A = this chain, B = another copy of it.
């Protein structure tokens, strides 16, 4: 479908063996997709890669070149398999070490709780040069932004808190408006008239999502676009083509 679209583009990079092995079901992609759509930033691609240096470095480079923003999830904790920060630094050719601003945040956090600020925890203060910190109100250890790459934790409630910290810094576009129309007929009956309708509205995207309910086939049609007037006009045509029973 061709959609004239001036919105900023984005990609997401999910990092973690636990997703690829089927141990954990990713929750962050769905969350980020919804938040970006609300802001008018178009999520164009998601990649999931394992905790492997080459895989992470080359994905960061490819996605940061191709899209306006990249959001990563996972691999910034205190353990040996948390290599995301070092990989992002390498992808951009910047150095990385424990940085004072992050160290001070973490030291205060552990001091307040009477907990030891050990070497593993110190690892979470490793931040690439030139990066700006992303606030983490949940567990303090910050994310960071290098150029157009926003590096965030994988634990869903921390990921969501970091997304909330990043979103106000982004310039959104026109939020994509969306309306759904339910048709109690199988997709294969709907396809031809829908194709004709889509051809007459090249600036809208029309998706067709089949379902079965109580043994009967049905189709949800979702019409999306940045112009509310166009979405509305197309919905009226669609409703006329498939009047409710």
Contact = CB atoms under 8 A, between A and B. Distances in A.
B55 A49 contact: no
Given A49-B45, A55-B44, A124-B188, A209 B1 contact: no
Contacts of A187: 77-79, 120
Interface in A14-57: 14, 16-26, 29-37, 42-51, 55
A48 B22 contact: no
A172 interface: no
A194 interface: yes
A230 interface: no
Interface in A162-181: 176, 178
Contacts of A206: 80-81
A30 B21 contact: no
Contacts of A194: 79-80
A80 B189 contact: no
A91 interface: no
Interface residues of A, number: 66
A150 interface: no
Copies in the complex: 2
B21 A25 contact: no
B79 A18 contact: no
Given A45-B47, A51-B1, A25 B18 contact: no
Contacts of A26: 29-30
A163 to B, nearest CB: 12
A104 interface: no
Contact of A21 (B17, B37, B78): B37
Contacts of A235: none
Contacts of A188: 77-78, 118, 120-121, 124
Interface in A91-140: 118-121, 123-124
A24 B208 CA distance: 12
A236 interface: no
Interface of A: 1, 14, 16-26, 29-37, 42-51, 55, 77-81, 118-121, 123-124, 155, 176, 178, 187-192, 194-195, 198-199, 205-211, 222, 224
17 contacts: A1-B17, A1-B51, A18-B207, A18-B222, A21-B37, A21-B176, A22-B32, A29-B48, A44-B49, A45-B50, A46-B47, A47-B47, A51-B205, A77-B210, A81-B206, A118-B192, A124-B188
